[in-house]
Structure 1
């Protein structure tokens, strides 16, 4: 179906209208919002534009599900929507709604899902706190709350800790949420996903997060968080994805993180961490991605790096690591991206790197590596980027495989490399 939605459809006593993903354009006929029998209204994934009627909530007493996501709707979200008291799902993400989120949504006692992400919704100008969170504490059935990618520009209130204990997904990433992460957030005992990244949050990572025993994904990246990474996070036995990169965290990497067998992705990059890399991190055999770059980490790359059979990304660049690159690294057979650049590593480049058949990016630049570039690199059939500049390498640059496709600057500032590029 393409075209527009006819006005006449609003004359029918419908209980469900579903035109999901039909490339419909134009405005939504106002008559649709007067169908008192309507229970499910699904207009998502189209190209509808225009505003919603300010009184829409008064004429939809039986509405349970409102799906308007991925359109081009604009204007404010009508506060009258709270009069549709049977609503359990409101999905209005990825539109162009403006104004503030109506506090009246808090009167929807049956609300289970509220998705308002990717709009242009702002906080109330009269107060620095985001009062919508206080309002939503009345919604005791709430399970999903996503308000990411809105210029909320406000402070997370302490009342966040009073949201429904049924809440499983809480996403408020990017951008402009300020202040500390309230310690009361640890009360949300059923949280599975917590995403507060890409904001202006300050202060420490609350130790109360240890109470979120169902948490699988914790994203706090790109804020201004300070202090250490609390070892309390190691009590999250289901944690699979931890991202606290791009903050101002300092101190050591908690050794106990290496005991979290559930971890799949660990991103601690771009902080001020200054310890050695805990040896037991290399025993996390199900780890898929490890990024510890841009810190002040010391120590050596251990022999056990080869135990990471399924890992796809290792980035230890821009630290102070020393020692040699062990030949055992060839055991990490699933590696797609490996960066050890800008460290103090020395010795030869191991030939076993040529056995990493899935490797697409390899950056060893800015070290003290010596010897030749292994001829085994010619076998890296998927290699898209190779940088060995600023080392002490010598000998002939391999001439087969993808290596001739790379520019000379990726080989510059070595002792005695030769060959045509």
Structure 2
């Protein structure tokens, strides 16, 4: 037997020892079962012809045997999502044909020595000249990336080293991995700056550096060279300064996460030219300025979160262009003016948070047509008028409308009842009075105009008579 494929069943218990005696075996795939127990210490000696051993998604325990390096034909080693413990064997570097190494989601350690905190097993992988995929996420490695990471094979395409407790700086040598497409160093303890050498990774498609302690600005030329970048996540760091202007030139971008940093100034106008952007999150920064009319040009976007900033002025009516938007949060800003009635046309909207602003006027009744809207919050504004009660508003509570000026509606919202009939009657009376006043003013104005016209006509005849007086006066007669 050369191939054993029993993946995605409900197999339990240990892997029978007899399976490891099948020396011609080349592929063993037992992925996604409930297998437990240890791997035999001589696995590499008993199965020398293996080129793929895939045991991910089980409950296997114990250490990874050093002897696995004796299976010199091994191309694919997949032991992820188990409960393996102990150090990652440095002997893995002897697998010179290895292309895929997946050890993620275990309890593996780095085997640090007392003299060096560096992850030395990564140095041993320099010998694996065909390595393309390196996945060691979610292990308590608790060390420092060695500068030798830049000596890994140029064929390396993916590195996933997130949630590993790695500290220190990101080595600038990482820029040597010229074929890298996915780089995930998120959820660690990295400090210092983003290496400028990252701009050398021209084939990079995903850059995940979020949830670290990185500082400094986002270098403008860092992003300008990453023309294939589709997913950028630098959120939850300590980055400061401006959002690079050239971000809008990377037309391949689909996801931008820069939230929870210390970014300042306005958003670059080029950002709105990313017509294919799906998600953008700039929340929890110190961005200011206003939302331009081009805000509505992100026509395919499904998530926009600009909350916890200092945006001012009105919400542009061009927001009607965001027909695919599912989640929108503009909370905790300084926005003013009314809520645009065009929100009622955004039929995909499920989440809308406009709380903690200076919005005024009424809540548009058009929002009743948003059948998918499940979260709505306009608390802490200056809204007035009736709270709509149709459509999704039937499911909302007082938590959505707290601390506004003069809202009214049904009792469940804990606001005064709207006196719609009295208000309508008062409106009719005011309208009638206005018509009467305007009519009287028109009559007075017309009468005044006629009188002035007559007076002007009479005034024009008097000088004519005076001029003619000398011609009609009788001649003088003497006393005699």
TM-score scaled by length of structure 2: 0.84
Report the secondary structure of 1:225's partner residue.
coil
1:22 aligns with 2:5: no
Q: Distance in 2 between matches of 1:369 and 1:269?
A: 24
User: How far did 1:175 drift?
Assistant: 2.8
User: How far did 1:404 drift?
Assistant: 2.3
Contact 2:112-2:119 within 8 A present in 1 as well: no
1:151 corresponds, among 140, 144, 156, to 140
2:289 corresponds, among 293, 299, 305, to 299
Residue in structure 1 matched with residue 339 of structure 2 by the alignment: 349
Contact 1:332-1:356 within 8 A present in 2 as well: yes
Residue in structure 1 matched with residue 91 of structure 2 by the alignment: 104
Contact 1:193-1:217 within 8 A present in 2 as well: yes
User: How far did 1:334 drift?
Assistant: 0.5
Report the secondary structure of 2:207's partner residue.
strand
Report the secondary structure of 1:256's partner residue.
helix
User: How far did 1:22 drift?
Assistant: 1.7
Report the secondary structure of 1:257's partner residue.
helix
User: How far did 1:213 drift?
Assistant: 0.9
Q: Distance in 2 between matches of 1:325 and 1:177?
A: 42
Residue in structure 2 matched with residue 32 of structure 1 by the alignment: 19
1:251 aligns with 2:238: no
Residue in structure 1 matched with residue 448 of structure 2 by the alignment: none
Unmatched 5+ stretches in structure 2: 414-480
Q: Distance in 2 between matches of 1:49 and 1:74?
A: 7
Residue in structure 2 matched with residue 6 of structure 1 by the alignment: none
1:323-351: CA deviations, max 9, x gaps?
Answer: 11010001111000000000011011001
Report the secondary structure of 1:270's partner residue.
coil
User: How far did 1:122 drift?
Assistant: 1.3
Matches within 5 A, 1:17-416: 17-126=4-113, 127-231=116-220, 232-416=222-406
User: How far did 1:55 drift?
Assistant: 1.3
Q: Distance in 1 between matches of 2:171 and 2:241?
A: 22
1:107-166: CA deviations, max 9, x gaps?
Answer: 100000000111111121423111111011110100000001111111111011111110
Ranked by relative contact order (alpha carbons within 8 Å, sequence separation 6 or more), the top structure is: 1
Contact 1:170-1:195 within 8 A present in 2 as well: yes
Residue in structure 2 matched with residue 3 of structure 1 by the alignment: none
TM-score scaled by length of structure 1: 0.96
Unmatched 5+ stretches in structure 1: 1-13
Contact 1:207-1:233 within 8 A present in 2 as well: no
**Greater CA drift, 357-366 or 54-63:** 54-63
Contact 2:379-2:402 within 8 A present in 1 as well: yes
* Structure with more strand by fraction: 1
Report the secondary structure of 2:335's partner residue.
strand
1:231-250: CA deviations, max 9, x gaps?
Answer: 12221000000000000000
User: How far did 1:416 drift?
Assistant: 0.5
1:177-206: CA deviations, max 9, x gaps?
Answer: 111111111111111111110111111111
Larger radius of gyration: 2
User: How far did 1:88 drift?
Assistant: 0.4
Q: Distance in 2 between matches of 1:211 and 1:269?
A: 25
* Structure with more helix by fraction: 2
Q: Distance in 1 between matches of 2:300 and 2:169?
A: 36
Q: Distance in 2 between matches of 1:121 and 1:365?
A: 45
1:294-353: CA deviations, max 9, x gaps?
Answer: 000011001001111100000000001111101000111100000000001101100111
Q: Please list every run of at least 4 consecutive aligned residues from structure 1 whose deviation after the TM superposition is greater than 4 angstroms.
A: none
